[in-house]
Structure 1
Amino acid sequence: MLRSRWCQGPAGDFLGDRAAANGVDSCMHGRRSGPLIVSVTDFTSDAYRDLPGIARRGFELRRRWPHLDGAVGMWLWGAPLARRCGSVSVWTGRRALAGFVRLPEHVAIMDEYRERGTIRSVIREYDSFDAPRIRRDAEAWLMPDDPGRGARGAPRPGG
């Protein structure tokens, strides 16, 4: 699985030294307590030919990240041979995540690719920011129990 570098959002400023200690490449300052929402998405494309466009659109949307209210940060990920890609995004709350989902740019991407593959997602709550734990949990959810899952695009049981 390929993973982009951490892209900090404006709400990521509160993480301070905890982020650096947890292996997040950023220059965040300050502290914050309270729960965070983590959204993990997994899109399996029906065709390899769609992957370059999906990746391009994902990186274009990522450029907006530093300006999104409630965005703590995110990683993009991809598994090209399995025709899969997605994101792991961290938010200050469900309202911030919902605001992102409704962005015209996000809606346009979903409209363009929704019928060209299979998407699944999960939302989890964390008491504090712990990048290694968030990545580990996300990768455990993303990695198939069934080696054929990536090729077929069917979600694994319980996922």
Structure 2
Amino acid sequence: MPHTLWSTAWQDGPAGEPPGRGTDVVVSVTEFVTHRPWTTLSVGAAGLRLRRTWPQTPGAVGMWLWADVRPRMDRSGSITVWTTREHLLGFVARPDHRRIVDAYRGRGTLRSATWQTPFAGRAALRESARRLLSGADPWPASGS
């Protein structure tokens, strides 16, 4: 059965679009699979709260939040685009992000993939992330 993913609209970060096509960006895709499907709603709400501060996040180009719409709806996460890996790491270390990770530790399984790629437009980035999330492409090792 094909995966249908719901996602929020693209939200710009303060970095906006990279200077031009071909400029390297860092893409990060996260997936959180809850142990109990009813936890997914609170995970999504936490992501939406964190999204409110996105426009002030240094180095953020843009993001989408996503959720799997299969009957159990136990998968959700984000697709984020950054100017540098250091900016991504700065976001991961932020206290509000760490609170969410700590709150859901042990309540599901988190995986992520990060890669650097030349910017070829939002549609191309979103498609590569959707292929990963749908299982059409394998998950690369984090940091590759």
Give the alignment's TM-score, normalised by structure 1: 0.77
**Unaligned 5+ runs, structure 1:** 16-30, 146-155
Secondary structure in 1 aligned to 2:129? Answer: helix
- How much identity, in percent, do the aligned residues show? 37
CA offset at residue 143 of structure 1? Answer: 1.0
Q: Which has the larger radius of gyration?
A: 1
Alignment of 1:97 onto 2:88: yes
Alignment of 1:127 onto 2:118: yes
Q: Which residue of 1 aligns with 2:11?
A: 7
What are the equivalent positions in structure 2 for 1:135-154 lying under 5 Å apart?
A: 135-144=126-135
In 1, distance between residues paired with 2:52 and 2:94? Answer: 13
In 2, distance between residues paired with 1:132 and 1:114? Answer: 32
Q: Which residue of 2 aligns with 1:42?
A: 31
In 2, distance between residues paired with 1:103 and 1:78? Answer: 23
In 2, distance between residues paired with 1:135 and 1:109? Answer: 24
Alignment of 1:68 onto 2:72: no
In 2, distance between residues paired with 1:137 and 1:34? Answer: 17
RMSD across aligned positions (CA): 1.9
* Structure (1/2) with the larger strand percentage: 2
In 2, distance between residues paired with 1:96 and 1:114? Answer: 23
User: How big is each residue's C-alpha offset from its partner over 1:50-96, in whole Å with a ceiling of 9 and x where there is no partner?
Assistant: 11211111000000000000000100000143400000000000000
CA offset at residue 126 of structure 1? Answer: 1.5
In 1, distance between residues paired with 2:78 and 2:94? Answer: 16
CA distance 1:99–1:157, change in 2 (3 Å): closer
